[in-house]
Amino acid sequence: MKIKMNNKGFMLTEVVVMAAIILGTLTSIYVSYSKTFLRYEEILNYYNVDGIYKLAYYRDYMIENDSINSSLNNVNTSGYKDVSSIVNSSTGSVYIFKTSSINSLIENAPNVAYKEYLTYLTKAVSFESEYVMTLEYSIDGDDRTYYSYLELEV
């Protein structure tokens, strides 16, 4: 005589166990990739290679036109200087500031996004130079604001 076994409870247990395994796997993938995407956004916005090249060009332009010394003297008195008009920057704002006065610049930042960038720099970068040049700019057709910095060796 054959005895029929009721396997309905076993199938429900299989489904619950598999759902828990899949949910755990998807959660671990999400956690690992969300950190990667946040870091990518940070790098994209704050370490833009085009911005670094622009800053190097602006620095060289100011050295060739002997305007860097007068700008640095103004920085010494006020803590920072907007040099966008000196370098003829049509793409964004260029600032030079003393690394020792970055906290006062954060308090007097021209906009909230620039204030966040300077706050980020204080936490992420240990400056080796006394002066830093920053660029805040956007690209046509892109709603993003990009930032870059360049330490000035004097």
pTM over 0.75: no
Handedness of CA 65, 47, 89, 80 (dihedral sign): negative
Averaged pLDDT for residues 112-138: 88
- Asked whether residue 20 carries a pLDDT value surpassing 90, the answer given is yes
What's the pLDDT score for residue 80?
A: 81
What's the pLDDT score for residue 87?
A: 83
The pLDDT tens digits of the residues spanning 62-121 come to 889 888 888 888 887 777 888 888 888 777 888 898 888 888 888 888 888 888 888 988
Distance CA 57, CA 37 (A): 30
